[in-house]
Structure formats: C-alpha cells, structure tokens
C-alpha cells in the first residue's frame, strides 16, 4: 500500500508539472496586418521571477504544430517562448507552392526583419519576461529571418539558426549587431552549399559578429523536423528535405548550451 501511495503521489506531481505549462494565442499587429502568435511558459518556473525570452520563427510552412512543439520544449527548459506569425492570422500550410508564395515578399526585403521585430516586441512585453535577456531561434525560412533580425540591431543576446538559408551580413551591420550567432546547417543541404556558407562566414567576419557555424554530417534541409520525410515523399522532394534524428538531437543540445552561455549558467 505504501508503494502504491508513492506511485499515486508521483503521478499527481507529474500531472501538476504538465499542468503548469501555460499556452496562449496572442493577437498583435504589424503596420495594420493582424498577426496571431503563440506564447508559452512554465508558470511554476517563472513564478519566482522574470526569465529570459526566446522568439521562435517558423519554417516557411507558418505557425504549425511542429514550431509550437519547439516552443513548448523551450518553456519546459524554463524560458518564455513566443512563436511569431510572419504571414498573418496564424495561418499555415503543407503546400510548398503556397508556402513559397507567402514567403516570397520577405526574402531580401526589410519586411523580414520588420515582421520579426513585431514578434520580438510582443515577447518583450510578456510579464514573465526579463527584457534584458532576449534571443531568437528559427528553422529554415525562420533561420534566415533571425539572421536578418539581428542585422537590424534588435536587442538580442543571441540567435540560433537551424538549417536556415544564409543571409549575408550587410555592410550596415558592422557595429550594430548585438547578438551572437549560432548557425547550424545540414552538411549535404543542397540549398546551403559550401560556397554560400563560406560567403556568410566571410560577411560575419567583416561585420565583427561573434559566431559559431556547425555542419551536421549526412543532414539535408529541414533535418530537425520529424515530418520532413513524409513531406518530402508527398511533394516529390526526396533528396532535398529529410529528418535526421542525430542532427536534430545534437543541434537542439547545442542550442541549449548556447542559451546557457548568452543568458548565464544559472538559467
């Protein structure tokens, strides 16, 4: 009976731990465009004081279940996470043609950093967030976006790009970038060639950006997303997209070390 009571108490404890994760849709705007983001935090961990905030920028698919799951994981680590809505109305798709059309106006344009900054501003006003400790992570399209956001001079301690398209630092970035960079690529990502990676690193050196660049062997584009294999099959993108469990695990652990570094080991 004693053992049974302990099991019941442990189960109740675990239920309470899970129940402490607070998830909220957040409606906000950017220059008249209605946006719906996703805020998540662990109420128990933030009860003792303000904690660092992490902006999360999705793949070009939009605000879907995958990117929300990544935000949930960040909240479980003790951060306040906010998934930014880049397209409006919190929409998402699995149609690559639609995703491409939605993403097209952002590439190479100030709108990319502007829309991401709207999300960062929304994160920073969350009552649980320490405004002096902000970072941003992004996946694919989102990885490109967090690079552009950092170049704009946003108040970020660091950015982490998971299989993001390289965005070379403009000459205007020198002396403006506050963030340290963690760039994580698939070594055989056909869209992120060695030449493109080299050009990015050269531009970061010229801009005096503190960066780390890591390539994961055997990893394709979208290596962190468990749905990548299915989506590749459904859309005839085999050999372009692919989930790589080893790279996904290693890169997530690397991000955790990076966040500890930029926010302090006590976090």
- Cα–Cα dist 221/191, whole Å: 7
Mean pLDDT score, 73-83: 97
CATH topology classification for 24-263: Rossmann fold (3.40.50)
Question: Is the pLDDT assigned to residue 45 strictly greater than 90?
Answer: no
The length of the chain is 267
Q: Give Cα 164 distance to the centre of its chain.
A: 10
Question: Is the pLDDT assigned to residue 155 strictly greater than 90?
Answer: yes
Tokens representing 72 are 């949930």
As a whole number, the mean pLDDT across the chain is 93
Check residues 92 and 17 and name the one with the higher pLDDT: 92
Mean pLDDT score, 135-144: 98
Find out whether 248 and 220 touch, Cβ atoms under 8 Å: no
Mean pLDDT score, 12-26: 69
pLDDT tens digits along 114-127: 999 999 999 999 99
């Amino acid at each position: 009976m004693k053992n049974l009571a302990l099991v019941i108490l442990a189960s109740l404890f675990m239920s309470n731990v899970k129940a402490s994760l607070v998830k909220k849709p957040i409606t906000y705007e950017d220059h008249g465009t209605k946006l719906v983001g996703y805020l998540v935090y662990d109420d128990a961990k933030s009860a003792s004081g303000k904690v660092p905030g992490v902006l999360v920028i999705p793949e070009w698919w939009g605000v879907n279940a995958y990117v929300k799951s990544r935000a949930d994981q960040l909240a479980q680590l003790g951060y306040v996470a906010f998934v930014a809505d880049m397209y409006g109305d919190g929409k998402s798709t699995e149609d690559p043609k639609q995703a491409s059309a939605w993403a097209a106006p952002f590439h190479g344009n100030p709108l990319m950093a502007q829309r991401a900054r709207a999300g960062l501003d929304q994160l920073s006003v969350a009552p649980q967030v320490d405004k002096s400790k902000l970072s941003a992570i992004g996946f694919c399209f989102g990885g490109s976006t967090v690079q552009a956001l950092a170049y704009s001079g946003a108040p970020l301690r660091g950015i982490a790009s998971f299989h993001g398209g390289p965005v070379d630092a403009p000459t205007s970035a020198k002396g403006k970038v506050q963030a340290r960079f963690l760039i994580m690529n698939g070594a055989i990502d056909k869209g992120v060639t060695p030449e493109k990676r080299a050009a990015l690193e050269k531009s970061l050196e010229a801009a005096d950006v503190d960066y780390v660049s890591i390539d994961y062997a055997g990893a394709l584009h979208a290596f962190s997303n468990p749905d990548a294999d299915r989506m590749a099959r459904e859309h005839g993108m085999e050999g372009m997209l692919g989930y790589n469990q080893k790279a996904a695990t290693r890169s997530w652990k690397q991000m955790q070390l990076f966040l500890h570094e930029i926010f302090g080991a006590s976090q």
